[in-house]
Chain A
Amino acid sequence: MREIAFRDALNEALAEEMERDESVFLMGEEVANYNGAYKVSKGLLDKFGPRRVVDTPIVELGFAGIGVGAAMGGLKPVIEMMTFNFAILALDQIVNHAAKLRYMSNGQLSCPLVMRGAAGAGGSLASQHSQSLEQQYAHIPGLKVMMPATPYDAKGMLKTAIRDPDPVIFIESEVMYGMNGEVPEEEYLIEMGKGDIKREGADCTIVTWSRAVHWSLQAAEIAAEQGIDVEVIDLRTVRPFDKEIIAESVKKTNRVIVVEEAWPMASVGASVAEWIGRELFDWLDAPVGRVHQRDIPMPYAYNLEPLSLPSAEKIAEAVKKACYR
């Protein structure tokens, strides 16, 4: 099978969906003439023209608001946030409007928009440009949150997000755009809310998503050398998250580590761990483990950033502890 980059998988998803449905359009900072800050929208302006690939000024709240209005009016906007660190500025439109429209209009209105862009640490970008803020959206009823970890998942999930009748927050890890992976030529979709077993194992489950999937897979290799067989579950969608896949795995392994790039307090990982502790209580042989970023602003220093982030070694250590080794 051919291998393409994560950014190209997203590009294909956008192109295919814009081809398929005329109401889909893309807007954001630098998406048109510059081909996107991360080159995700490369060639789309030439292909679809300036009515459907729209450059915006640096006003996150403004163009998010235009997106909400367009979605209410029947279009399907894909709003690119150059970075989710500054999508915070658009939270009012997303949280107070997009998420609530279907409910507050008693189903008369819907808001089929996708807000997508880069998030997480990218290698010495300092505190304001290195955050993983998925919990801001996962906390809100009315929003769906998707976070792919591979080119294959990225393409199938973005197509699903664009077709979804409700607002979807689609978060891409900044460091993954150049990552290559197998993506088939033929069309496919990945179901909203369905996790994926990225590695099968019998002794300990890791539940994770986005960039942390890769740390976890490396951790599984380290654990394997110590004779611990780790299962890695990629949730892919963090709201709603796939409870069945977790339950099935934990019932098999009796041990679980929740791994995320974000901070520990009030995070998606905290909610997942809480659910496991409550619903799978009788299946647990060890406390639910967690690995996350240190609870401090991200240091700018190049050598300190990895110390703050989760790593394969830290996860392998948590696995070992959960297995009483």
Chain B
Amino acid sequence: MAEVMEMLALSPTMEEGTLAEWTKAEGDSVAEGDILAEVETDKATMEMESFYSGTVLKLLAEPGQTVRVGDPLVIIGEEGEDISGLLSELGGGAKPAAKAKPEQAEPEEAEAAPEDTRESAPAAAEEAGNDDGRRIKASPLARKMAEDKGLDLASIEGSGPGGRIIKRDIESAKAAPAKATRAAAAAPSAELHAAAGISEVPGEQQPLSQMRKTIAKRLVEVWQSTPHFYLTMGIDMAAAMKVRKDINAQLAAAEAGYKVSVNDLIVKAAAAALAKYPAMNTGFAGDSLYAFDEVNIGVAVAIEDGLITPTVRNADQKALGAIAREVRELAGRARDKKLKPEEYSAHTFSISNLGMYDIDEFMAVINPPDAAILACGAVKQVPVVVDGELAVGTRMKLTLACDHRVVDGATGAEFLNELRRNLENPMLLLV
């Protein structure tokens, strides 16, 4: 019995993936758990494992092709098995993800999802005279069971009349990841571009990478749904810079192979302040507030064509050196797009630092589900007034963006003062 494997949701937010390369060819034998393909998701390049053992009978997508989660990708069965019936049922394999497919707004998303915007161009699937695959017949009970078990109905063979999926089919089905939650896309429509006169300027239209698409979609969602307010504070970094210099000198002498960056100090200082002000370590959850038990810091890392926030878990309980090594290692793998989903999720607070670009100060966009994000500017020598006298000081500007649904100005200000105390008395970061 030949089995069809679909594009899996390899990250919580993935809706489609680009097939980077097949690691198996047609005719190869494959065991359950073997790597079948490398797939570029919205966050990273992931290896996709086989659910089945047998022979690769048909690869249904070309390298470079973008395939929607749940669409067929490969057929695995017994060598020499006739799969012509299965192929015609699938309608010729994976469809390129159609740009114009209106997304389904999930009813669970309590916030009013923006209306679907249909592009005027017909979907590729429609051009082929196919309404985007076949309708899946399943009994109401089977649908509910599949949903509860996180099974994708499209991957299950129905044994009822006309291929209806029924209770017994779900009971005997392998647990497979469910389709990624589909949120409403808030992409500007082609009409909008036309109205803006975009087509009158010579240029080249380039496809968006998976990461770009996700960033675009999520940031619009955040920006539209989260009331931001900003608190900016200057920090005297003289003592911190001296401590850092001393630490790094000792590390170099000990041939430790790593250094402590200004950002590592800020991560540690922020984590300690969050432990003291748990009201900042929260998230907005629709009709309730989520108080996190861990202090997990997402550190924004710029990578080719986007950014990602690897997470330093329980940062308040880790030594400065441990944080420094962990951030280095995570950032390295982030640039190689080799982060696992659990390594860039579960943050409770985020830090974005543009100091290395000589930026004085800036305002960052909150990274859900966090209640706040800290934007760090460069450490600079600036004129300061000390006891009525002009002097040369070492300063850094921090701007805290807060979600006003869960955090108020005073809460943010108290947290920021604690953060300043930690940075201006850097010995506190070592205890």
Chain A residues at the B interface, C-beta cutoff of 8 Å: 254, 281-286, 324
Contact = CB atoms under 8 A, between A and B. Distances in A.
Interface string B133-147: 000000111111000
Contacts of A324: 159-161, 166, 168
Contacts of A286: 139, 160, 166
Contacts of B168: 324
* The 5 residue pairs across chains A and B that have the minimum distance between CB atoms: A285-B167, A285-B141, A285-B139, A282-B144, A281-B140
Q: Considering residues B139, B143, B168, which has the most beta carbons from chain A within 10 angstroms of its beta carbon?
A: B139
A324 B142 CA distance: 14
Interface string B298-338: 00000000000000000000000000000000000000000
A284 B141 contact: yes
Contacts of B160: 286, 324
Q: Considering residues A281, A282, A285, which has the most beta carbons from chain B within 10 angstroms of its beta carbon?
A: A285
Nearest to A280: B140
A226 B418 CA distance: 75
Nearest to A324: B160
A286 B159 CA distance: 12
B141 A282 contact: yes
Contacts of B166: 285-286, 324
Given A285-B167, A324-B166, A254 B161 contact: no
Contacts of B141: 254, 282-285
Contacts of A285: 139-142, 166-167
A284 B140 contact: yes
Contacts of A284: 139-141
A286 B169 CA distance: 13
A254 B167 contact: yes
Interface string B348-386: 000000000000000000000000000000000000000
Q: Is the interface of A mostly helix, strand, loop or mixed?
A: loop
B418 to A, nearest CB: 50
Contacts of B143: 282
A288 to B, nearest CB: 11
A324 B139 CA distance: 12
A283 B140 contact: yes
A196 B418 CA distance: 69
Nearest to B170: A285
24 contacts: A254-B141, A254-B167, A281-B140, A282-B140, A282-B141, A283-B140, A283-B141, A284-B139, A284-B140, A284-B141, A285-B139, A285-B140, A285-B141, A285-B142, A285-B166, A285-B167, A286-B139, A286-B160, A286-B166, A324-B159, A324-B160, A324-B161, A324-B166, A324-B168
Contacts of A254: 141, 167
A105 B123 CA distance: 65
B297 to A, nearest CB: 42
Interface string B257-280: 000000000000000000000000
Contacts of B159: 324
A310 B118 CA distance: 53
A42 B139 CA distance: 53
Contacts of A281: 140
A226 B142 CA distance: 24
A212 to B, nearest CB: 26
Contacts of A283: 140-141
A281 B143 CA distance: 11
Interface in B114-164: 139-144, 159-161
B372 to A, nearest CB: 40
Nearest to B141: A285
B9 to A, nearest CB: 24
B357 to A, nearest CB: 54
B126 to A, nearest CB: 31
B211 to A, nearest CB: 38
A86 to B, nearest CB: 43
B138 to A, nearest CB: 10
A284 B139 CA distance: 7
Q: Considering residues A281, A284, A324, which has the most beta carbons from chain B within 10 angstroms of its beta carbon?
A: A324
Q: Considering residues B141, B159, B168, which has the most beta carbons from chain A within 10 angstroms of its beta carbon?
A: B141
A282 B138 CA distance: 11
Contacts of B139: 284-286
A275 to B, nearest CB: 15
B143 to A, nearest CB: 8
Nearest to B161: A324
Q: Considering residues B140, B161, B167, which has the most beta carbons from chain A within 10 angstroms of its beta carbon?
A: B140
A273 to B, nearest CB: 15
Nearest to A254: B141
Contacts of A282: 140-141, 143-144
